Amino acid sequence: MTLDAPSMRDARIDIAAVMGALGRKLPRIILVTLVLLAATFVVLMFMPKLYESSASILVEPRSNAFVRASNEQMPSAGGADTGVVSSQIELIKSRDTLLRVIDELDLRSKAEFNGSQSGFSPMGVLMQLLGRSNRPVSIDETVLNTLYDRMTVVQERDSRIISVLVRSTDPQLAADIANAVARAHVVRRAQLSLSDTADASGWLNEEIARLRISVEQAESAVAQFKVDNDLYVGANSTSLLDQQLSTISTQIATAQERKNTALGRAALIRDLLLSGQPIDGVTDVRASAVVQQLRQEKVRLQGERAQLSATLLPNHPTIRAIDSQLRELETQIRQEGMRVAETLEAEGKVEGNLEATLTADLDRLKQTASTATRDTVALDGLEREAKAQRDLLEAYLLRYTEASSRVDTNSTLPDVRVVTEAAPSVVPASPKTALILAAVGFVALAGQVGVAIFSELLSGRALRPVHGFAPAAPVAVADPVEPVAPVASVVPAAAVETQLPVVETPPQPEAASEDEPSLRTEPQSLLSRDASDVADIASSDTRALLKELTERRERAAPPEEAVPPPPAPPRQRVPGMVRYADLAADLVLGRTHLLLLADYGRDLPSETLARELINDALSKGLSVALVDAGSGRVGPIPGLSDLSAGAVSFGDIVQKSASSSFAEIAWGQGDAIDRNSARPITLVEALGDIYEVVVVLTGRVAGRSSLPLFADLGGRVVLVAANSEETDEANDIRRQLLDAGLPKVEIAALADLAA
């Protein structure tokens, strides 16, 4: 791929030439525009003015509790149904609806609608020329076609409102037609509902007459079947046989209960007697009169024995006689309990005989009921048929009564109604004279201007060649200031507009330390030295720089083991020079992303080289960021020195162009960059993620050079010399930098740029 030199030519549009051509053609443009406006105005004067009126119809189910049928549910008021509204629109535009309007307003006699007026207007002649001269045969077709053209029926957005818009040369006639169309549609919808109700009433009347005969026949068959099969019905709509079966079943259950109760009590008394337990607690034993007398006597004797026991011994004859009497009373009670048990067993046998008798009667009735059950099945079928016919007859009678009451006019609410009546318009709807004239004037002006500009571009008179980019002009501010520093003017004014002007304050003279000369005063002091003095100073400054590079790489090595320094590249017989064209090509092609420029010599040649490289990159459409990390010039805006000190944030120091294709970071307001801060490295890494080319000016190769800060970022290090004499001296510095651990260092000379 071949790259053009930075001084290649480019063609730009000459705005002055374009504006001059438009100025020369301006009278003709104005004249043509006025002629078109006049012609348009004359045509609009002959066009008839149409007035538009609008009537609105609401489509929704209508219901009222006083007119709604008893079994009719309240219609739900849901959202707008597009299908329903579209159907209503088609009914409004139907032929039957419009014919009613034509008859009501007698539109056949209106010259505007019967076609007798169109022949005398320019638009009528134009329509005939366009192929619409074939008139319908009948007057109705003519009026209908005209009404179709003058009427518009639309749905208002997503609502249930339908707007009927009618245009006419007479405002009152337009309003009357719109209202007549709306009323005709409402009346037609009401008539359609009434016709459906009338048809339903006729059908219900015929069905009622047929059902009356069917119900009478079904009920007669039920009555005759009951008489023939003795299926008499007693109380509670129950047959006599069913009542007998129910009574006998109840009696059998009662007899079984009494028998089981008697036998259970007798068995309980016998169990108590056999086990020798007292039977006084049994209800049947306590109810016996003999047992009650014996218990009273027993209680009396127990009382006497208790009294005598207080004075007599247990073996006394009196106490022994009383004990004998008590034992005799106990024997009598047990005998009476046995008799009670026998009585209960006899009672159980009686109840068992009664149960057997009732069971026999039940079996006899069951045989009789089996025959009656089969007859009842047939009777139930007849009764169901009769009941179904009777229920259907009653339902039809109710519906017929409700339907017949709604056959009359105005008894049914249609599902449409007029919500807004049309009023005569006072402003013509068409033609819009002002709007049409404005559109014609705009189109005429825009078309002629476009044709003029296009012709100038095609002829080449509006194009001028441009050589590269011009350097940026100093920024004008309110107060008088010094000219902008070279770093601030790296980007041309035609391509980049920075957000904040970079204004340089003249540096104040300061006393430099003995170990390290001041970076701001060093260029001025070098101007008065010869080449040998410059070499001596460069040698001492380089030693400090190499020492810092070595210390930084030792600190970056792992603490566990010593990392050997990278092997120095083999010494080249020819120093590592790089041409400007190759360096620019590597930036444009993306082979170089981060460029670290260091200065060697009396001046700061890296700023000039950076300016040319950035111009080439911007001309190729690349985004570029420039970081001033070595000039030492204090300015009015914050920069990298302030960021390293923590005085400002990252966003405060990045000055972007209007197109955001170029960003510049100035030195700032501080005297030096804090070398222990990681903020400058973070800033350069962030710029590398955003911009395609990042250029860092590290300053003159000396003890205060910022090259050690950015050496570990993997950027391309270029040592810039002003002329060929300094190139040979810079080669020694290059070898020392390679020995210090930098993987690659190249030398670029401004003499190559000038060539």
Tell me, what CATH number does 632's domain have?
3.40.50.300
Q: Per-residue pLDDT for 639 more than 60?
A: yes
Average pLDDT score over residue span 297-311? 79
Residue 118 lies in a domain: yes
Is residue 195 within 8 A of residue 414, CB to CB? The reply is no
Q: What's the sign of the alpha-carbon dihedral 456, 458, 460, 463?
A: positive
Same domain, 442 and 386: no
Same domain, 324 and 355: yes
Indicate the average pLDDT of the chain: 75
Same domain, 59 and 22: no
Among 393, 420, 447, identify where a domain stops. 420
Same domain, 260 and 377: yes
Name the residue among 522, 718, 477 with its Cα closest to residue 608. 718
Q: Per-residue pLDDT for 665 more than 90?
A: yes
**SS3 at position 631:** coil
Residue 138 lies in a domain: yes
How confident is residue 569, by pLDDT bands cut at 50, 70 and 90?
very low
pLDDT at 338: 79
Q: Compute how many other C-beta atoms are within 10 angstroms of the C-beta atom of residue 300.
A: 12
Is residue 425 within 8 A of residue 52, CB to CB? The reply is yes
Residue 491 lies in a domain: no
Q: Per-residue pLDDT for 294 more than 80?
A: no
Residue 228 lies in a domain: no
Helices 605-619, 580-589: axis angle to 10 degrees equals 40
Number of H helices, E strands in the chain: 22, 13
Q: Report how many domains make up the chain.
A: 4
Same domain, 395 and 459: no
How confident is residue 542, by pLDDT bands cut at 50, 70 and 90?
low
Token pair of 286 as six digits:
């306590």
Same domain, 262 and 306: yes
How confident is residue 238, by pLDDT bands cut at 50, 70 and 90?
low
Residue 120 lies in a domain: yes
Among 228-242, 372-386, 707-721, the range scoring the smallest mean pLDDT is 228-242
Same domain, 361 and 299: yes
Residue 55 lies in a domain: yes
Domain containing residue 523: 497-507+517-558+570-754
Same domain, 140 and 43: no
Residue 207 lies in a domain: no
Token pair of 485 as six digits:
């520093």
Same domain, 279 and 393: yes
Q: Per-residue pLDDT for 519 more than 50?
A: no
Name the residue among 705, 699, 746 with its Cα closest to residue 727. 746
Q: Per-residue pLDDT for 133 more than 70?
A: no
Same domain, 260 and 358: yes
Name the residue among 720, 711, 741 with its Cα closest to residue 597. 720
Among 420, 450, 484, identify where a domain stops. 420
Same domain, 527 and 676: yes
How confident is residue 5, by pLDDT bands cut at 50, 70 and 90?
very low
Enter the pTM of the model. 0.37
Q: What are phi and psi of 721, to 5 degrees?
A: -115, 150
Residue 39 lies in a domain: yes
Is residue 746 within 8 A of residue 605, CB to CB? The reply is no
Same domain, 659 and 598: yes
How confident is residue 580, by pLDDT bands cut at 50, 70 and 90?
confident
Which amino acid is residue 271, in one-letter code?
D
How confident is residue 471, by pLDDT bands cut at 50, 70 and 90?
very low
Average pLDDT score over residue span 338-347? 80
